[in-house]
Chain A
Amino acid sequence: MLLIRCPYCEMERPEIEFKYGGEAHLTRPDPNAASDEAWTDFLYFRANARGPHAERWRHAAGCGRFFNCVRDTVSDRIVVTYKMGEKRPDL
């Protein structure tokens, strides 16, 4: 079980308090203007990175807020968590 630091509550809590929210920093294209390929890429295609992976979590049983996280998917070590709207830290 992961130990995740909520950047809003500013404390580390066990994973069962959180819900995983999928890959972070996906930008929704304008569906009226986007090509089929761009729309498909947004809906379905994922980085699925082996190594540092930016992802969303929600502190469901805590403050209820979404935040972002960079985690190494080989070791499952959480590198950093940061608030929604902040840019992915350059690590």
Chain B
Amino acid sequence: MKFSFASLAGQALSGHQGWPEQWRSPAPKPSYDAVIVGAGGHGLATAYYLAKQHGLANVAVFDKGWLGGGNTGRNTTIVRSNYLWEASEAIYAHAHALWATLSQELNYNVMFSPRGVMLLAHGRHDEQAFKRHVHANRLAGIANEWLTREEAKAVCPALNIDPGVRYPVVGAAWQRNGGTARHDAVAWGYARAASALGVDIVENCEVTAIRRDASGAVSGLETTRGAVATKKIGVVAAGCSSVVMAMAGVRLPLESFPLQALASEPLKPVMPCVVMSNAVHAYVSQSDKGELVIGAGTDAYVSYSQRGALHIASATLEAICELFPFASRLRMMRNWGGIVDATPDRSPIIGATPVPGLYVNCGWGTGGFKATPGSGHLFAHHLATGAPHPIAAPFALDRFRTGALVNEATAAAVAH
């Protein structure tokens, strides 16, 4: 059912009893043209664009849990594109352009709110690095600008710019058209639109093995709901990418770390934009419910525990109390840890693997949410055509052998 004023009015008159389920819950078929492993935002977006842009409707998405129940439903929802290198600028700008019209595209309100993203600089070195970013971004057509600390405070009045604090704010990089989106709605919107185009989304169904034929190519997979034949598998399993790919004997240059986020008790509007600080490691924005949504750092060690250590979250909260002194009186309501898969150069891996028919989209690390539409769009292109989209080509797995890394580990605007 299409969401419109007429459908809303009709349902209101009938007491909202007639809304249908948003997506089907089919049993898996014995074979598919392509299978996506992982029903997070990136996997669902991939399935949607496969069906919508490439006419591939005999597609299934499998997930061992529920749809959007992993990192998609537990991130800080920040959308921005102010990365340093040209390859990164191109891929995140591609995603950013899709965000702008995503609600209309999916007929589902993903609540994309380009309220601005502010990256705080805390010293001379930060200032030089961020101005370099601003100039590089402007050459690439990405709206990034430099704010003095007074200009930053004018945008975000709650910000503490007192020069006497331990890490005083000296200015900020400001991406005016960055912002946030509603993470659950992104997963649900893509799921609903993909399902309507014929994609089977099979939740609570774990992939337990990847089968290969005599030539070594993919021939299907085993799941907890039976065997499925397919010649094309796209693995979009985020923190579990190494585990799923090991089923096909493929090693990846990944390490999985817990990344924490927190939500405070709800407040009246106080945070008009997203504020991030690399130097003291804090990310904060305010949801429409009024909660401050706070991003902390990763633990140093490999873990699949979905729990981060307390001292990591404490360090971020201490930084936020210095930037926003009123926050010292806030209570945190929820704290959670998602498992993020980080590559050595902190750029994603999109494309083919040494196994014919097996494709992977992983390594988005701590910042995958912002790329969701672009990631799905580009990965679908590769799955459907067998060749990388020009924007995704620099992010091939083979770059680790050739040495053509896209090194955002030292260049990115945020700490990893």
B residues whose Cβ falls under 8 Å from a Cβ of A: 240, 242-243, 251-256, 300-305, 307, 309-311, 341, 344, 400-401
Contacts and interface: CB of A to CB of B under 8 A. Distances in A.
A40 B302 contact: no
Given A50-B304, A73-B302, A75-B305, A1 B310 contact: yes
A19 B243 contact: no
Contacts of A26: none
Given A45-B253, A50-B243, A15 B309 contact: yes
A8 B162 CA distance: 46
A44 B304 contact: no
Contacts, number: 66
Nearest to A71: B301
Contacts of A50: 240, 242-243, 256, 304
Interface residues of A, number: 27
A39 to B, nearest CB: 8
Nearest to B312: A1
A87 interface: no
Given A48-B256, A73-B304, 20 more contacts: A1-B310, A1-B311, A19-B300, A43-B400, A45-B252, A45-B400, A46-B253, A46-B255, A46-B302, A47-B251, A48-B243, A48-B254, A48-B341, A49-B302, A50-B242, A50-B256, A50-B304, A71-B301, A74-B304, A75-B305
Interface in A35-61: 36-37, 40-41, 43-50, 53, 55
Contacts of B242: 46-50
29 contacts: A1-B309, A1-B310, A2-B301, A15-B311, A16-B311, A20-B300, A20-B301, A23-B302, A40-B400, A43-B344, A43-B400, A45-B252, A45-B253, A45-B400, A46-B242, A46-B252, A46-B253, A46-B302, A47-B242, A48-B242, A48-B243, A48-B255, A48-B256, A50-B243, A50-B256, A55-B301, A73-B304, A73-B305, A76-B305
Interface of A: 1-2, 15-16, 19-20, 22-23, 36-37, 40-41, 43-50, 53, 55, 71, 73-76
Contacts of B253: 44-46
Contacts of A43: 344, 400
Given A20-B300, A50-B240, A55-B302, A41 B251 contact: yes
Contacts of A20: 300-301
Most buried by B among A20, A23, A44: A44
